Amino acid sequence: MSEIPEREQSAEARSDVERLTLSLVRISDGMRRARSRVVDPARVAVLQAAATRAEVRPSEIANRLTVHQSSVSRQVRALEADGLVSLARDPADGRSCLISLTEAGRAEAERLTRLGVDAMDRFVADWPEEDVRSLADLLERLEESIEDIKALAHRKATGRPWQRRAEAPS
């Protein structure tokens, strides 16, 4: 994808996109409120982002969460103090560190994931399995589209002029 797609759409299609947007916002807000009653949402987000790989840089977590790196650094210090992550010097970049989960951190990430999956399972308990699978497939597709658009927008915003010209359509 070299350009952010735009399309002409009918009023009905636009209305469907609005319904989708409002539903996702309501669901996201509800999940954020529920998570904040249990634990600090920023802490959970950083812990779960660290759980995606064996070692991850704070800058990579900040990019993934679209937050400032200082926010990630504060959370990482707290997670380290609680014994949930460990830090090691980044051999490729002495100015940075690599974050990895400790056994306790992995157990906590798994516990929080189970809580989320159990809650979602209750929400769709009366749905046919095929509907759950279809929704999961569509949400994964939406997530991929969002990541593609974010990456393209980032390249356009941060690339050097000669890089942007190379990506421009002929």
Enumerate the H helices of 3-86 as residue ranges. Answer: 11-38, 41-50, 58-65, 69-81
> What pLDDT score does 169 carry?
54
Max avg pLDDT among 38-42, 60-64, 162-166 = 60-64
Residue-wise pLDDT for 121-147, tens only, equals: 999 999 999 999 999 999 999 999 988
- For 36-45, letters b (16+ CB in 10 Å) and e give eeeeeebbbb
On average, the pLDDT of the chain sits at 86
pLDDT in tens, 82-111: 999 999 998 988 888 999 999 999 999 999
